[in-house]
Chain A
Amino acid sequence: MDEAGERARPARIDLKAEYESSGVREVLDELEAELIGLAPVKRRIRETAALLLVDRARREMGLAHETPTLHMSFTGNPGTGKTTVALKMAGLLHRLGYVRKGHLVSVTRDDLVGQYIGHTAPKTKEVLKKAMGGVLFIDEAYYLYKPDNERDYGQEAIEILLQVMENNRDDLVVIMAGYADRMDRFFSANPGFRSRIAHHIEFPDYTDAELGRISGAMLGAQGYRFDAAGRAAMDDYVRLRRGQPHFANARSIRNALDRARLRQANRLFEHDGPVDAETLSTISEADIRASRVFSGGLDIDGSRRRDEP
């Protein structure tokens, strides 16, 4: 970058043309088209993209040299699209030239923290080396810090992370994700992170209407669709499901649709006589209404997510 600046400093830069030619527009359009809802997130990403474009133009003119801090935190409830947006963010940063390769390495505590003394540092470094030139996405980052156990190895991983986030700002971008309240506690206990993370993006829950559209889009991607009664049943399902425990936004919807397809398959199988393509790809009311959500609701995945607040 610096060398380019030495060679020829452009007198003026057309930001609109940069926006088109760098491919940023494509990423933002994709984001707009593929993700339903999430208006505040999209707005923040647009703003970030504008900032980075301007910053890049400033660098080309020799007005600034420092790489801006790009580490981010994504906070929001489960199933609100944090990982998907992180993937888009990696693409965006790559197009703008802030990361060299633009791949996303997604990890959780298990990938960073070792099991015995001396195991954590090599393990964390291994992950960091793989993430160089791309984006490191740490899901449920607050698990790294366990205040009740002062000998927890998570602290070691945190120290290495902080060091790399500071020294290798040109080489990788770290995105930390998790539930809003827990991330807040995590950041207040580790002020080093708060000061090194410039962009805090909050992911709101989806509205019922948005989840309805998401369910339609998910089915469409798999080559299925709702009939009218099925559509209405799905809307009822979304409303009821939200009030029940362990609601995980789009992820709950995806699981519900998987089960609906299972029921549809069974229904068609038990029904005698030939089926046509129309029947095979239609999810109807019966497939949705049979869900336990309509009969008071059971803790479907309680066994898996017992540790949630």
Chain B
Amino acid sequence: MRITQGCFSFLPDLDDAQITAQIEYILSKEWSVGIEFTDEPHPRNTYWEMWGNPMFDLKDAKGVMIELDDCRKAHGEKYIRINAFDNARGWETVMMSFIVNRPETEPSFRSWRQEVDGRSIRYTHELVG
């Protein structure tokens, strides 16, 4: 099942030229860029592993692309996303986040329905192979 998280996830996967263009946009806004990866794309798993340090003060997208290539080499079979962080006072948050790498076969989810407290229903979503 195709995981849809962050920007552009309903579009076909971005190619490197498109990723570069997005990073150029991020840098034009003076946001800093972070690369993160995970093998567990559960929507509740907000904290992915960081690939190196966040990158500040870059002028050109090539710097990020070099790191992305390195990350793909090491974790090509995992999900990789790029986060853009705005440190401007009042925002101080991730402004943009998009997936740039997916495994060959993506996991899917199974929903569990559980009856609790009388007739209340609880749902939980489990990642399956």
Within 8 A of A (CB), among B50-68: 52, 55, 57-64, 66-67
Q: B60: which of A122, A125, A133 is its contact (CB, 8 Å)?
A: A133
Complex CA gap A132/B66 in Å reads 10
Question: Do residues B60 and A134 form an inter-chain contact, with CB atoms below 8 A?
Answer: yes
Who on chain B is nearest to A129 by CB? B63
1/0 contact string of A4-45 vs chain B (CB within 8 Å):
000000000000000000000000000000000000000000
1/0 contact string of B76-89 vs chain A (CB within 8 Å):
00000000000000
Q: B66: which of A101, A122, A129, A134 is its contact (CB, 8 Å)?
A: A129
Q: Give, as a whole number of angstroms, the nearest-CB distance from A137 to chain B.
A: 14
Q: Give, as a whole number of angstroms, the nearest-CB distance from B107 to chain A.
A: 33
Complex CA gap A130/B60 in Å reads 8
Who on chain A is nearest to B62 by CB? A132
Who on chain B is nearest to A133 by CB? B60
Complex CA gap A143/B60 in Å reads 28
Within 8 A of B (CB), among A114-162: 122, 125, 128-130, 132-134
| Residue of A122, A132, A134 with most chain B CB atoms under a 10 A cut-off | A132
Question: Do residues A171 and B62 form an inter-chain contact, with CB atoms below 8 A?
Answer: yes
Question: Does A100 make an interface contact (CB < 8 A)?
Answer: yes
Who on chain B is nearest to A101 by CB? B59
Question: Does A103 make an interface contact (CB < 8 A)?
Answer: yes
1/0 contact string of A87-104 vs chain B (CB within 8 Å):
000000000000011010
1/0 contact string of A176-201 vs chain B (CB within 8 Å):
00000000000000000000000000
Complex CA gap A133/B59 in Å reads 7
Q: Give, as a whole number of angstroms, the nearest-CB distance from B87 to chain A.
A: 17
Which residues of chain A come closer than 8 Å to B57, judged between CB atoms? 130
Which residues of chain B come closer than 8 Å to A171, judged between CB atoms? 60, 62
Question: Does A67 make an interface contact (CB < 8 A)?
Answer: no
Which residues of chain A come closer than 8 Å to B63, judged between CB atoms? 128-130, 132
Which residues of chain B come closer than 8 Å to A130, judged between CB atoms? 57-59, 63
Question: Does A168 make an interface contact (CB < 8 A)?
Answer: yes
Who on chain A is nearest to B70 by CB? A125
Q: Give, as a whole number of angstroms, the nearest-CB distance from A101 to chain B.
A: 5
Q: Give, as a whole number of angstroms, the nearest-CB distance from A93 to chain B.
A: 13
Complex CA gap A134/B61 in Å reads 12
Question: Do residues B59 and A168 form an inter-chain contact, with CB atoms below 8 A?
Answer: no
Q: B55: which of A100, A101, A129, A133 is its contact (CB, 8 Å)?
A: A129
Who on chain B is nearest to A171 by CB? B62
Which residues of chain B come closer than 8 Å to A128, judged between CB atoms? 63
Q: Give, as a whole number of angstroms, the nearest-CB distance from B38 to chain A.
A: 22
Complex CA gap A133/B28 in Å reads 14
Q: Give, as a whole number of angstroms, the nearest-CB distance from B30 to chain A.
A: 14
Q: Give, as a whole number of angstroms, the nearest-CB distance from A125 to chain B.
A: 8
Q: Give, as a whole number of angstroms, the nearest-CB distance from B115 to chain A.
A: 53
Within 8 A of A (CB), among B28-75: 52, 55, 57-64, 66-67
Question: Do residues A103 and B62 form an inter-chain contact, with CB atoms below 8 A?
Answer: no
1/0 contact string of A64-106 vs chain B (CB within 8 Å):
0000000000000000000000000000000000001101000
A residues touching B (Cβ–Cβ < 8 Å)? 100-101, 103, 122, 125, 128-130, 132-134, 168, 171
- Mind listing 16 A-B residue pairs with CB under 8 Å? A100-B60, A100-B62, A128-B63, A129-B58, A129-B62, A129-B63, A129-B64, A129-B67, A130-B58, A130-B59, A132-B66, A133-B59, A133-B60, A133-B62, A168-B62, A171-B60
Q: A129-B55, A129-B58, A171-B62 are in contact. List 18 more A-B contacts (CB 8 A).
A: A100-B62, A101-B59, A101-B60, A103-B59, A125-B66, A128-B63, A129-B62, A129-B66, A129-B67, A130-B57, A130-B58, A130-B59, A132-B58, A132-B60, A132-B66, A133-B61, A134-B59, A171-B60
